[in-house]
């Protein structure tokens, strides 16, 4: 991995080497080999915990990167065993957005046990140093974030977490951005952290990384940070969701990945000002068109009922009926059926329809109420609720924070929700409506959908 010159540290020419490549002192020396296999060539970067080296795996004849732990708190047999366990698990995580970790071991020398980890060699630049020159445009941000989010989703799907995602753990290579220290960070920072909690912190850390890349701020001041005007609304909302103070309100890595990948493929017109505006304009056009069609149908019905001589079935005007003959003569069968005594025009005349204001001799039967919609499964109901919530958000009928809260509640319920879960969701909708977080119209729609659940 080639790093900028400012981040490299020159190795000491006066270093001592003990035994089979154990360094004294380890941090400022160049041991020829580790574990009799990894020949260290060049020190690339030194942090508070590790030193990164370009090395050669003499057994497989390939370049690798070796991270050697020099922090006294990360030495000893216990940490070396934990590192070996985490690296062994992480070695199976093959993904284009992850720098593969190959091996872990330790060397024993006068300074004690010195653990090390061996990673895939990649050319590139550390994101933190790329950002030293200032923030970058949102299109470049989503382009580099897409493989990182995909790699993070892959890690989470396998039941792991990164545990220490920062701009220093992202490598910008020729083939795209990659996550560094997968497995290694878990050994250092994740000894006591449950995986689920660590995954939620990973998502927040990625939100902080996005914010820093877009604005240069290294720590958010709130859940709705100020972003450049050209940032799409979907990206701004994603940052806010990742930074939510309640971990349960943050998106999963998989959903985060999907949103970023869609943004990476978006056209140049996808800006924040056109995000919800386009959807709202489309809805207004659709609503206006629907209203015009409904008005036209209503007018046609009124005309059919009020204009004499209109055929209600065909919607066409008929010729007026001829005046009755004087004196009236009883119709003959042949005349009635269009026989020879009837003219051709009389045969085409249909008896006039009764006038609509003529009172009926029999009272009209009361109209039967439409049957209630059949009950449906919980999964279908929750899907309908999600779509209705999204529509309410687009139309401004649901406040953003309320919509996010409802989506997370539904996601946590799953498809095996019981009646108590649905009752709790109903109560939350009513409470949020009283708090003016949902309009009455949208709340009634959500409650009607809930009423259809088969329990």
**141 and 263: one domain?**
yes
**188 and 247: one domain?**
yes
SS3 for 136? coil
**90 and 149: one domain?**
no
CATH number of the domain to which 137 belongs: 1.10.510.10
At residue 73, the pLDDT reads 76
Q: Tell me the C-alpha distance between 88 and 405, whole Å.
A: 38
At residue 382, the pLDDT reads 85
In a domain, 18, yes or no: yes
Domain end residue (candidates: 215, 245, 273): 273
Domain end residue (candidates: 238, 273, 308): 273
At a CB cut-off of 8 Å and minimum separation 6, what does 430 contact? Answer: 443, 447
In a domain, 444, yes or no: yes
In a domain, 140, yes or no: yes
At residue 194, the pLDDT reads 86
**106 and 160: one domain?**
no
In a domain, 387, yes or no: yes
Query: How many structural domains is the chain composed of?
Result: 3
At residue 16, the pLDDT reads 36
**152 and 268: one domain?**
yes
**166 and 115: one domain?**
no
At residue 390, the pLDDT reads 86
In a domain, 353, yes or no: no
Domain end residue (candidates: 273, 300, 331): 273
At residue 338, the pLDDT reads 44
**82 and 133: one domain?**
no
* H or E segment and range at residue 344: helix 344-347
At residue 367, the pLDDT reads 61
**149 and 78: one domain?**
no
Q: Tell me the C-alpha distance between 401 and 246, whole Å.
A: 12
The mean predicted confidence, pLDDT, of the chain is 74
DSSP one-letter string for 327-343: S--PPPHHHHTT-TTS-
Question: How many other C-beta atoms can be found within 10 angstroms of the C-beta atom of residue 200?
Answer: 23
Segments of the chain with pLDDT less than 70: 1-32, 109-112, 191, 220-225, 267-376, 414-416, 454-455
In a domain, 352, yes or no: no
**138 and 268: one domain?**
yes
The b-or-e profile of 52-82 (16+ CB within 10 A means b, else e) is bbbbbbeeeeeebbbbbbbeeebbeeebbeb
Domain extent, residue 50, equals: 5-122
From 39, 185, 34, 38, select the one nearest 98 (Cα to Cα).
Answer: 185
At residue 212, the pLDDT reads 93
* H or E segment and range at residue 64: strand 62-69
Provide the H-helix boundaries in 91-243. 127-130, 138-157, 184-189, 195-215, 233-242
CATH number of the domain to which 82 belongs: 3.30.200.20
**242 and 210: one domain?**
yes
Q: Tell me the C-alpha distance between 162 and 99, whole Å.
A: 12
Distances (CA, A) of 447 to 38, 426, 453: 65, 7, 10
Question: How many other C-beta atoms can be found within 10 angstroms of the C-beta atom of residue 148?
Answer: 26
**184 and 241: one domain?**
yes
pLDDT, tens digit (0-9, with 9 covering 90-100), for 340-351: 444 444 444 455
**91 and 154: one domain?**
no
In a domain, 347, yes or no: no
């Amino acid at each position: 991995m080639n790093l900028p010159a400012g981040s490299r540290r020159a190795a000491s020419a006066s270093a001592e080497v003990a035994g089979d490549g154990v360094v004294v002192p380890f941090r400022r020396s160049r041991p020829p080999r580790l574990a009799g296999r990894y020949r260290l060539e060049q020190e690339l970067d030194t942090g508070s915990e590790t030193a990164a080296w370009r090395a050669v795996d003499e057994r497989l004849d390939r370049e690798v990167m070796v991270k050697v732990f020099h922090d006294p708190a990360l030495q000893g047999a216990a940490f070396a065993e934990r590192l070996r366990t985490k690296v062994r698990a992480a070695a199976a995580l093959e993904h284009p957005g992850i720098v593969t970790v190959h091996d872990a071991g330790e060397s024993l020398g006068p300074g004690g046990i010195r653990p090390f980890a061996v990673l895939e060699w990649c050319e590139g630049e550390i994101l933190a140093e790329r950002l030293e020159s200032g923030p970058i445009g949102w299109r470049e941000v989503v382009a580099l974030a897409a493989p990182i989010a995909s790699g993070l989703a892959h890690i989470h799907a396998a039941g792991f977490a990164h545990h220490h995602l920062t701009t220093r753990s992202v490598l910008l290579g020729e083939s795209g951005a990659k996550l560094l220290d997968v497995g290694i960070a878990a050994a250092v920072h994740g000894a006591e952290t449950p995986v689920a909690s660590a995954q939620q912190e990973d998502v927040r850390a990625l939100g902080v990384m996005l914010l820093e890349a877009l604005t240069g701020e290294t720590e958010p001041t709130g859940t709705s940070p100020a972003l450049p005007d050209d940032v799409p609304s979907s990206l701004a909302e994603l940052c806010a969701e990742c930074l939510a103070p309640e971990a349960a309100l943050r998106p999963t890595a998989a959903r985060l990945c999907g949103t970023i990948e869609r943004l990476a493929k978006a056209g140049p017109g996808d800006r924040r000002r056109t995000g919800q505006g386009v959807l709202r304009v489309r809805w207004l056009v659709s609503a206006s068109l629907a209203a015009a069609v409904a008005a036209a149908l209503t007018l046609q019905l009124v005309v059919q009922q009020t204009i004499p001589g209109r055929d209600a079935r065909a919607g066409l005007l008929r010729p007026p009926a001829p005046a009755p003959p004087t004196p009236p003569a009883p119709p003959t069968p042949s005349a009635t059926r269009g026989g020879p005594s009837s003219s051709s025009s009389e045969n085409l005349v249909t008896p006039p329809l009764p006038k609509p204001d003529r009172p009926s001799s029999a009272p009209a039967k009361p109209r039967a109420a439409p049957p209630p919609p059949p009950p449906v499964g919980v999964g279908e109901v929750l899907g309908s609720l999600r779509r209705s919530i999204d529509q309410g958000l687009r139309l401004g009928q649901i406040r953003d924070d309320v919509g996010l809260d409802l989506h997370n509640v539904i996601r946590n319920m799953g498809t095996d929700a019981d009646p108590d879960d649905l009752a709790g969701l109903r109560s939350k909708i009513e409470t949020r409506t009283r708090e003016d977080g949902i309009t009455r119209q949208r709340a009634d729609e959500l409650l009607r959908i809930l009423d259809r659940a088969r329990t």
